[in-house]
Structure 1
Amino acid sequence: MIKINTSVLLAALICSTTACSKQSASDENTPHQPNVLFICVDDLRPELGCYGNDYIQSPNIDRLAETGTVFTNHFVSIPTCGASRYSILTGMYPRTKGQLSNEAIHHFISGKPEGEVPETFIHHLKRNGYYTVGIGKISHYVDGLLYGYTDSVGTELELPHSWNEMLFDPGKWGTGWNAFFGYADGSNRQSRNKQVKPYERGEVDDDGYPDGLTAKLAVEKLKELKQKDQPFFLGVGFFKPHLPFNAPAKYWDLYDEDEIALTPSPDLPENVNPASLHESGEFKSYQAGDEKPSLDQPVSDAYQRKLRHAYFAAVSYVDAQIGKVLDELEKSGLAENTIVVLWGDHGWHLGDHRVWGKHTIFERALKSALIIKVPDRSSGKQIDRIVSSVDIYPTLMELCEVDMNFETDGTSMLALLEDTNTPSWKDTAWGYFNQGISLRTPRYRLTKYFREAQPVVELYDHYADPNENANVASQHQEVVNELLPLLEQGNFGIYQD
């Protein structure tokens, strides 16, 4: 609901001139609640300049960080696209195995009648006076419409009650899914029967890949939204650096492949069953790849550098597209009253522990980028406290002055934004996948698997071992015993038979 400044109303009542009345009316129509620009980036590790990684070129995201708050220990709930987005959009940890699936939103939200509890935080903003626009991949389906990889474009919205507008430009690829897996010549993984490499150095400009078209669409939509007399929510979902790691050549040229460092975790973690990891199935579906990684045999150092180079180029490419949107926000004057959230839907193993992909509950897959800029409130801060994606829902509602008469699993981070040392913050985040639950605290990651393969309990000491190279549960049973009751607080029975 738009709040009207009572002093403006009083001024309108006592003004007798036409000019004064017109000015008062203009002030009254100005949105007083902040707008929200929510930028989703697929598979984005917190491996950016603003996170202290000087080998990554991400100047536009870094510029956002300089005027916002960087969360250095932000964790998603589930390390797969659709389920992670279901969790952040609803503010809830998973209650069933189905909520660990990429189809979680489809199965639990799509096609349902509008209920008392909103389907997402976007829906709740819409109910409270916000004009909501989605561009690209905000939920799981890449253009917000339900249809299969090789089908014609669907007509049913994945989120039926959240959007005033849902937009996407598929360009030369024709459909959202073709664009998502698209190559510079207009082909895609499906049309080429997976006989494609997991990377491409394209001799094209920024609009030669889909994210360039998404940025252009977002810029034009910001110009339109500026003319509205109500606050807006604009969600912009970029594809890269999701596989395939495709980017224009100029972003590849930012890096010297020979100087790219290898993973600090080249081997399986000590005292860990391979069942805790995976065989990089999604990565290997790009069947023309130079090598096929496995837990038994890592890729060569040269190929690892090639793939990391490709990922870094994709990050720099999407960073440039984000920069175009942020530039328009500034140019239009909207930045003065717009909250900006940049969120990575999960991390990614770049050969770490011999894995190429997400789908583990190790740090590399659960930790992702989160930057929040609040006008007149945050500037160049860094918050090292443990936060979860489920905390974003109540945070946005408090910042937007929207009441919640229902509960989520998250806690508003407004107190942290105001005082990073606030003693009341819980400093816990839970992650779920692969028959396991993982708890992150400031020092430890404790993971418990519900399976037969031993060991089923893993403990990583992040003070001594930030790359999680050794499970030390058997050496520190007292720490395990102390943390297990806390881990169980996040056990909602999803692995029970």
Structure 2
Amino acid sequence: MINNKVLIVKYLSALCLLAVSLGFVFSKNAKPADAKPNIIFIFTDDQRYNTIHALGDDQVITPHLDGLVQQGTTFTHAYNMGAWGGAVCVTSRAMLLTGMSVWDVYQEEKDYSKLLAKQGFWPQQLKKAGYETYMTGKWHVRQKPDAIFDHVVHERPGMPNQTPAGYNRPLSRTDTIWQPWDPKYEGFWKGGTHWTQVVADDALNFIDQASKKDTPFFMYLAFNSPHDPRQAPKRWVDRYPVDDIKLPLSYLDEYPFKEEMGAGKDLRDEQLAPFPRTPYAVKKNIQEYYASISYTDEQIGRILDALRKSGKMENTYIFFTADHGLAVGHHGLMGKQSMFDHSMRPPLIVSGPGVPKGAKRDQNVYLQDIMASTYELAGIKKPDHVYFHSLLPMIKDKNRKSPYSSIYGCYTSQQRMVRGDRYKMIVYPEANKVLLFDLVKDPEEMHDIAGAPASKAILKDLKKRLLEQQAQLHDELDLTPQLVNL
């Protein structure tokens, strides 16, 4: 009996030692219940909302972004609020990093010193909450990133250098002087390695370092692609034979209000293709746009694979978006300086612990809501100056209403827009023109119904909404002459 008791005690002691040993082994990767999640923000430039195969474009090849769509929740109607100048990305990024709405940050960006001192930038708030912060890639904000991130690698300018040969092309099928894979024009190839690959290389280094630590991290990975010059390896360009490219449904040789809306021949983006547009020139630009997107997708795949191998994936939230969309031939336009959805809407995907997989949310939101979403994840009280809202309530509850009753849009003093769930009104003050689109029946925004008798009540409602938005957002543009008769 005594021997049995001794054996039992020895057996239990051995189990305890084994449990302690296993507990030690597991504890190196285990996280306490209240551990803050890691956050990776992946940002592209000039990427339209539907330029992911899984989100509606059956021509574009994006297997890794398709996988992110399947593993997460997509907001199908995310918008950039607009811009005060032709470099729309400057305004978009200023709003994203400060959380301020368009005209408020326009005033603030003249001198960011007060906001900097108050630690009011996005990465600064995450640093205060215990995050190690990384940044690589495109910046284009009037504040040095090394003042607000712990680590900055390969800070890039607004765009890779575009050369004269990259404009007003192609003039014909025989116009082959400029080729997207030719390093002699530098651009993305400057330095020897394509900048898109450099961002991924940097990210892999960051992830490797982070895998050895328990500190939560925030990574800001900003690709310049698919911004022009839309350069990519030849193997990707060859995947898109130009004759197989479909023209946009809204293709036009010229947009009738291009000058009055500020998207005419003097605008840099619009000079990329010849005036008037030709089907071949538009198809060629789309070919290079898709090749750039596919190459970016390939590099994003490398990042996601490294994250999986690091053991950090299960406690990491990934946010993917772009700073706005791009026309590339829609409505006869090439750039992003318009109030059409192709220019204002980027993709927006969220994946991570507890995020529904393969889900869609069609609430109207702003891409800058990502900042507020990360604050909620990190347990940060949203600062008073932040206009935007967390996406998490809508991720958790698909029936949750958008925090925005309508979406506002602007471009300099030459364009204004407001949209609800179904209708969009665009105003061109210099043309004294008001357009109205039914986005349910006419998602490509091809049929202006402003003059229809049945539209009077709709226009009156949208006028009220736009004026309310202008007051709320401190937009001082007087639209009385254009809206007085609505």
The bucket for the TM-score relative to the shorter chain is: 0.7 to 0.9
Pairing 1:196-275 to 2, within 5 Å after superposition: 196-197=166-167, 200-202=179-181, 208-267=193-252, 274-275=259-260
* Residue 67 (structure 2) pairs with residue 63 (structure 1): yes
CA–CA separation in structure 2 for the residues paired with 1:342 and 1:196: 29
**Of 234, 259, 274, the match for 1:292:** 274
1:273 Cα deviation from its structure 2 partner: 7.5
**Of 409, 413, 435, the match for 2:387:** 409
Q: What is the total number of aligned residue pairs between the two structures?
A: 436
Q: Which amino acid is the alignment partner of residue 238 of structure 1? A: F
* Residue 131 (structure 2) pairs with residue 130 (structure 1): yes
Contact preservation (8 Å) 2:255, 2:331: no
* Residue 358 (structure 2) pairs with residue 376 (structure 1): no
Q: Which amino acid is the alignment partner of residue 348 of structure 2? A: L
Name the % identity. 26
Which of the pair is proportionally richer in helix? 2
1:453 Cα deviation from its structure 2 partner: 2.5
Cα displacement string for residues 260-315 of structure 1 (whole angstroms, at most 9, x for unaligned residues): 111211238999675135126223566xxxx522xxx2x22112111111111111
1:45 Cα deviation from its structure 2 partner: 0.7
Q: Which residue number in structure 2 is paired with residue 485 of structure 1?
A: 464
Contact preservation (8 Å) 1:271, 1:470: no
**Of 430, 434, 442, the match for 1:465:** 442
Pairing 1:302-313 to 2, within 5 Å after superposition: 302-313=280-291
Q: Which residue number in structure 2 is paired with residue 87 of structure 1?
A: 95
1:213 Cα deviation from its structure 2 partner: 1.4
Cα displacement string for residues 391-448 of structure 1 (whole angstroms, at most 9, x for unaligned residues): 2222221122222242522222212101211246545322221323312222111233
1:208 Cα deviation from its structure 2 partner: 3.7
Q: Which residue number in structure 2 is paired with residue 151 of structure 1?
A: none
1:18 Cα deviation from its structure 2 partner: 8.6
Superposed CA RMSD in Å reads: 3.2
User: Residues 96 and 396 from structure 1, CA distance in 2 versus in 1: closer, same or farther, beyond 3 angstroms?
Assistant: closer
1:243 Cα deviation from its structure 2 partner: 0.5
Structure 1 counterpart SS, 2:42 = strand
* Residue 422 (structure 2) pairs with residue 443 (structure 1): yes
Q: Which residue number in structure 2 is paired with residue 53 of structure 1?
A: 57
Q: Which runs of 5+ in 1 are unaligned?
A: 1-14, 147-156, 170-175, 182-187
CA–CA separation in structure 2 for the residues paired with 1:372 and 1:264: 29
TM-score using structure 1 length: 0.79
Structure 2 counterpart SS, 1:246 = coil
Q: Which residue number in structure 2 is paired with residue 474 of structure 1?
A: 451
CA–CA separation in structure 2 for the residues paired with 1:301 and 1:377: 42
Cα displacement string for residues 297-350 of structure 1 (whole angstroms, at most 9, x for unaligned residues): 2x2211211111111111101111111111101111111011100111101111
1:30 Cα deviation from its structure 2 partner: 9.6
Structure 2 counterpart SS, 1:393 = helix
Q: Which residue number in structure 1 is paired with residue 320 of structure 2?
A: 342
Contact preservation (8 Å) 2:95, 2:105: no
CA–CA separation in structure 2 for the residues paired with 1:54 and 1:332: 32
Q: Which residue number in structure 1 is paired with residue 484 of structure 2?
A: none
Structure 1 counterpart SS, 2:103 = coil
Contact preservation (8 Å) 1:387, 1:427: no
User: Residues 466 and 271 from structure 1, CA distance in 2 versus in 1: closer, same or farther, beyond 3 angstroms?
Assistant: farther
User: Residues 276 and 470 from structure 1, CA distance in 2 versus in 1: closer, same or farther, beyond 3 angstroms?
Assistant: farther
TM-score using structure 2 length: 0.81
Q: Which runs of 5+ in 2 are unaligned?
A: 1-16, 170-177, 479-486
Q: Which residue number in structure 2 is paired with residue 173 of structure 1?
A: none
